[in-house]
Amino acid sequence: MTQIKPNFMPTWRSEFQRLEGAYAPSTMRSYRADVEAFETWCQENRCIPFPASVETVCRFLQDQGAKKAPSTVRRRLYAIRKVHRLLKLTDPTYDEEINLTFRRIRRGKLTRPKQAKGLTRVYLDAFLAAQPDDPWGLRGRAMLSLGYELLARRSELVALTTEDIEFVDDGTARVIIRRSKSDPYGQGRIAFTSVKTTKAVSDWLAWRGPDIKYLFCPIYKSKAVDRNLSTSTVKRLVKSAAAAAGLEPDVVDTFSGHSLRVGAAQDLLCAGYDSVAIMRAGGWKSVSVLTRYLEVAEHNVWA
């Protein structure tokens, strides 16, 4: 007797497994959150999510546009498109009505993108001086100094491994940033550190010990743990350092994990470097993003 196999209908969750390795983990988390938001909205509004109609997607985008930034709405549109393509369903997201809806959302949002406060040299020196004399302080000084000099994104800083840094005879170090947001295929970029920053990294490594993969690792009960840090650790470090340096709470709130990259770019501009040199140093591919950082460059004034 011939056994009849059940007709298996793949779900977007099962199909998303095909994307693993092709996209960064942060992108995958965003995609999942975006699709779940669309599914929840469809349930609440009694709409079919997949395949979605043009009208359903337009209504969802309009609803999201009233509460979310245009960049978030665009990302959610891309996530809906990705699911339809993975499931081989008719894709409604290229319809002209979708395009017009998104254009209305963008034109209706006149606020400028929120910009993290630049952690410029004057702040960096104060933040370094405020680090405690313990293992967390050793790690904090090394992370702040290295993140600033590499113009590193949070993800780039925590992804550095011990093998990515090479100490040079003159007291400096050569660092390779192997993969970043603008370099998903890992061609990498090379950067060099000052003697002072190299000393801070060396002091941290001397305490941390050998045989740990990642350059910066967690500390538990005053012992180094052999795993990587989360990107949120960088944000907490910057904010806690700002508070320890005596800044007012409203000023502390303006700093983020991105402040190291922003502040270093602003300092380079004030030092006379042009946009091309700064883009090369920080691994930027688009001048428009860099321009937002530089137009509010602070001339090392404590505020």
Identify the CATH number of the domain in which residue 247 sits: 1.10.443.10
Least confident of 2-11, 99-108, 240-249: 2-11
Instruction: Give yes or no: residues 153 and 282 share one domain.
Output: yes
pTM over 0.85: no
User: d(Cα 30, Cα 45) in Å, to the nearest integer?
Assistant: 22
166 in helix, strand or coil? strand
In the predicted model, what is the mean pLDDT of the chain?
Answer: 86
Last residue within a domain, chosen from 47, 78, 108: 108
Last residue within a domain, chosen from 80, 108, 136: 108
> pLDDT tens-digit profile of 249-264?
999 999 998 899 989 9
154 assigned to some structural domain = yes
Amino acid, res. 194: S
Domain containing 239: what range?
121-294
Instruction: Give yes or no: residues 19 and 128 share one domain.
Output: no
User: d(Cα 252, Cα 248) in Å, to the nearest integer?
Assistant: 6
Alpha helices in the chain (DSSP H): 12-16, 25-44, 54-65, 70-86, 96-108, 121-129, 135-149, 154-159, 195-208, 231-244, 249-252, 259-270, 275-282, 287-294
Instruction: Give yes or no: residues 91 and 220 share one domain.
Output: no
Instruction: Give yes or no: residues 83 and 201 share one domain.
Output: no
Distant-in-sequence contacts of 203-208, Cβ < 8 A, 24+ apart: 203/138, 203/141, 203/142, 204/138, 204/139, 204/141, 204/142, 205/162, 207/135, 207/138, 208/139
Instruction: Give yes or no: residues 102 and 239 share one domain.
Output: no
Instruction: Give yes or no: residues 102 and 126 share one domain.
Output: no
Instruction: Give yes or no: residues 130 and 29 share one domain.
Output: no
Instruction: Give yes or no: residues 100 and 136 share one domain.
Output: no
Burial of 103 (0-12, 13-18, 19+ CB in 10 A): exposed
3 assigned to some structural domain = no
Which band of pLDDT confidence, cut at 50, 70 and 90, is reported for residue 300? very low
pLDDT at 26: 77
